[in-house]
Chain A
């Protein structure tokens, strides 16, 4: 299983990463090796097996819907490296 340079670039784009040509070559090789190794999972018979994501079996955890004090809003906004305006983060143009 060998990823082409174009495939690596496509994945990087989906993942919002910009790679140098050297990184494309290096990661392409490394990811191909890792994915080939993962192919061994095909040996395991998983017919009629439900996939698992919540390992201790918890379902639909709910809490009482009541207002709790939270004074973090300003502190969280201050974390942004972007300028603030009217209690919002001002980002660059989309296009």
Chain B
């Protein structure tokens, strides 16, 4: 039962084929049997999960949107009374006093928390190697990374350690690991899901979204968590459509744009070939395919890291060794507490973020770096707006390469940033994107297809993604883990 989609699981519960307790126990057994190899989970909340499952079975109607569905949360989503570490030493023992608002919505929908999953420290990274607790291995080949920053969520969905997971995406942190692990991963429009209670990296970029086994499941989870919240002023007062209504089987009347810059140098041939093949499938489903151009794509990475590291350095300023989290035991005065607590508590990539951001925001360099990047961001947003006048969605690869080996890029931060070359433009423009399984490399590693749509057009992602998924078998393949 652990390999079922959410939709199938809901049916199974309603038909009394299995109970929520049996289902939860099956996932916990799966975690116990596989997580030593994968290391997706930082914390497993087995007792709590079984208790909730019992209550749900007792009630017995399984009527909630996600009632009885076991899931996990990336360890940056605050859970009252349950450790939330951001996979950083500085928050190693942090137990939040309140829930993220989005988690409250998941609980109200009836889902069951199995635990908290691994990420690069404070979500800064593309491989989960920056986690203070160590890397998450790729379920398809344990010598390879699971991607990042949401490596734990991606691997846990791919390996059936949960029915779905919630991750965050600032520059690709949902889509890239989804692509590398062969799951569906949805990056919503900025502001579609409230960020309250989610530990911040870059506040004008961060989004929250699901990892699932099917596109239909992604639509279901989004239905439960989307919409305005008074606890997050950046969520617009816009209605949430019934996403299930957009899961169609064909693409008649749909125009899809293929931006040539997303197939440029640096994108491996195996990857672009898989995506071109997928485009042929979409053509057969009735879609009209047009070539489009987004010439500013090559500036996305520097624009992204200047802005994100600037916002990141500002957000990291709250970790002072005083209010919460790690504090040094070797300080005599206040300055020393800041300096030592932060130096002891943060890992290398967080330190690089803080210094790069501090530099880009400092008086002499603000105009040349931060302001310049903020202007290029405005141009990139405009460029996407113009392209979406001509088409309903864009089709591109998600990641330029399949998963890479653990340790391959850890000494070269710029090479690591380049992993996000095809995903950061979407965050810069605040639009939405989704990675869907679309093939395998010759080494047997998954390849993901990225569907991109305009702001608040998640319905287009679900339409295109579902139709493609129904016409292909990629999402049905499972890693041979045990």
Q: Tell me, in angstroms, the Cα distance from A52 to B383 when the chains sit together.
A: 14
Is there an interface contact between A58 and B97, defined as CB atoms closer than 8 Å? no
Chain A interface category by residue count:
35 or more
Complex: chain B residue closest to A62, CB-CB:
B233
Is there an interface contact between A81 and B377, defined as CB atoms closer than 8 Å? no
Is there an interface contact between A92 and B333, defined as CB atoms closer than 8 Å? yes
Is there an interface contact between B191 and A15, defined as CB atoms closer than 8 Å? no
Is there an interface contact between B334 and A93, defined as CB atoms closer than 8 Å? yes
Chain B interface category by residue count:
35 or more
Collect the chain A residues with CB atoms within 8 Å of residue B455's CB.
56
Assess whether A67 is interfacial by the CB under 8 Å rule: no
Is there an interface contact between B333 and A95, defined as CB atoms closer than 8 Å? yes
Which of B236, B321, B417 is close to A81, meaning CB atoms less than 8 Å apart? B321
Collect the chain B residues with CB atoms within 8 Å of residue A56's CB.
189-191, 234, 236, 430, 455
Is there an interface contact between A46 and B204, defined as CB atoms closer than 8 Å? no
Q: Tell me, in angstroms, the Cα distance from A80 to B319 when the chains sit together.
A: 11
Of residues A38, A42, A75, A93, which shows the largest number of chain B Cβ atoms within 10 Å of its Cβ?
A38
Q: Is the interface of A mostly helix, strand, loop or mixed?
A: loop
Complex: chain B residue closest to A45, CB-CB:
B379
Is there an interface contact between A41 and B351, defined as CB atoms closer than 8 Å? no
Collect the chain A residues with CB atoms within 8 Å of residue B98's CB.
72, 75
Chain B min CB distance to A52 (Å): 4
Assess whether B18 is interfacial by the CB under 8 Å rule: no
Given contacts A11-B358, A27-B351, A52-B377, A79 and B324 within 8 Å (CB-CB): yes
Q: Tell me, in angstroms, the Cα distance from A39 to B372 when the chains sit together.
A: 10
Which of A14, A18, A94 is close to B362, meaning CB atoms less than 8 Å apart? A14
Collect the chain A residues with CB atoms within 8 Å of residue B334's CB.
91-94
Is there an interface contact between A79 and B323, defined as CB atoms closer than 8 Å? yes
User: Chain B 310-348 against A: per-residue CB contact (8 Å), 1 yes, 0 no?
Assistant: 000100010011111111000111111111101100100
Q: What are the 5 tightest A-B residue pairs by CB atom distance, in nearest-first order? A: A55-B430, A51-B374, A75-B97, A79-B324, A46-B375
Residues of chain B touching chain A, judged by Cβ–Cβ distance below 8 Å, are 94, 97-98, 189-191, 204, 230, 233-234, 236, 296, 299, 301-303, 305-306, 313, 317, 320-327, 331-340, 342-343, 346, 351-352, 354-356, 358-359, 362, 369, 371-379, 381, 413-414, 417, 429-430, 455
Q: List 20 A-B contacts (CB under 8 A).
A: A15-B313, A16-B317, A16-B335, A17-B343, A18-B343, A31-B355, A33-B414, A37-B301, A46-B372, A49-B379, A50-B375, A54-B204, A55-B429, A55-B430, A72-B97, A79-B94, A91-B334, A91-B337, A92-B332, A92-B334
Give 15 A-B pairs besides A38-B373, A51-B377 with Cβ atoms closer than 8 angstroms: A12-B355, A14-B362, A19-B343, A30-B352, A38-B302, A41-B299, A44-B299, A44-B379, A52-B374, A52-B378, A53-B204, A75-B98, A91-B337, A92-B334, A95-B333
